[in-house]
Amino acid sequence: MRLTAAGIAAVCAAAVLVPAGASAAPAPATETLKIETVSNRADLISDDDALVRVTLPTGAAVDDLTISLKGDGKKRDVTDAFAERPNGQIEGIVSDLRVGTNDLTARLTDGRGARLTITNHPRGGPIFSGPQLQPWRCQPTATDEQCNQEPTISWLYKSTNPLLDGLQTYDPAKPPRDVAKTTTDEGVRVPFIVRVETGYQNRDQYRIAVLWQPDQEWQRWTPQEQWNNKLFIPHGGSCGVDHEVGSAPTKDYAGTFDLGIPVVADALGDSPTVALGRGFAMLSTALSNTGHNCNVASAAESLIMAKEHLVETYGDLRYTIGSGCSGGSIAQQTIANAYPGIYQGLVVTCSYPDTLSPGLQFSDYHLLRKYFESSERLTDGKFWNPLQWAAVEGHLLPLNAVTADEGLFKQAVMPTHPCSGVTDEERYDPETNPGGVRCSIIDGSINIFGPRPESDWTPQEKQIGRGFAGSPLDNTGVQYGLEALRAGVITPAQFVDVNEKIGGLSIDVQPRPERSTADETALANAYRSGMVNTASNMGDVAIIDHRGPDPGIAHDARWAWAMRDRLTREQGHADNQVIWYGVTPLIGDPSYSKEALLAMDRWLAEVEKDERDVPLADKVVQDRPGDIHDRCTQTQGISSKDGLFLPVADPLLDDLTGGALDGLNKALNPVLDPALNLVVDPVSDVVCGLGPVSDLVKTDLATPRIMAGDNNYSDNAKCHLKPLQRTDDYGAFGLDDKQWARLQAVFPDGVCDYSKPGIGFSKTVPWLTYQSEDGSVVYGGTPMADPPISEPLAPRPGKRS
Helix (H, G, I), strand (E, B) or coil at 351: strand
Q: What's the CA angle centered on 761, arms 757 and 767, to 5 degrees?
A: 145
Q: What does the domain layout of the chain look like in residue ranges?
A: 31-125+786-793, 152-343, 355-529+646-680+682-756
Whether the CB-CB separation of 696 and 392 falls below 8 Å is answered with no
Q: What is the pLDDT of residues 450-483, one digit of tens each?
A: 999 999 999 999 999 999 999 999 999 999 999 9
Q: What is the pLDDT of residues 319-340, one digit of tens each?
A: 999 999 999 999 999 999 999 9
Separation between Cα atoms, residue 645 and residue 657, nearest integer Å: 25
Q: What is the pLDDT of residues 611-659, one digit of tens each?
A: 999 999 999 999 999 999 998 876 555 444 333 333 333 332 333 333 3
Of 547, 549, 546, the closest CA to residue 651 belongs to 549
CATH T-level topology, domain 31-125+786-793:
Immunoglobulin-like (2.60.40)
pLDDT at residue 373, as a whole number: 87
Any idea which of 238-252, 261-275, 326-340, 368-382 has the lowest mean pLDDT? 261-275
Separation between Cα atoms, residue 196 and residue 114, nearest integer Å: 39
pLDDT at residue 748, as a whole number: 96
Helix (H, G, I), strand (E, B) or coil at 593: helix
Separation between Cα atoms, residue 527 and residue 715, nearest integer Å: 9
Q: What is the pLDDT of residues 651-683, one digit of tens each?
A: 323 333 333 333 333 333 333 222 222 333 333
CA 343 to chain CA centroid, nearest Å:
10
Separation between Cα atoms, residue 575 and residue 586, nearest integer Å: 23
pLDDT at residue 387, as a whole number: 87
Q: What is the pLDDT of residues 520-567, one digit of tens each?
A: 999 999 999 999 999 999 999 999 999 888 888 888 888 999 999 999
% pLDDT > 90, the chain = 74
Q: What is the 3-state secondary structure (H, E, C) of 680-740?
A: CCCCCCCCCCCCCHHHHCCCCCCCCCHHHCCCCCCCCCCCCEECCCCCCCCCCCCCCHHHH
Q: Which one-letter amino acid corresponds to residue 469?
A: A
Phi, psi of 746 (to 5 degrees): -70, -40
Q: What is the pLDDT of residues 370-416, one digit of tens each?
A: 999 886 666 665 788 888 988 999 987 788 899 999 989 998 999 99
pLDDT at residue 146, as a whole number: 97
Per the model's pLDDT, the better-predicted residue between 368 and 381 turns out to be 368
> Confidence band (pLDDT; 50, 70, 90) for 167?
confident
> Confidence band (pLDDT; 50, 70, 90) for 273?
confident
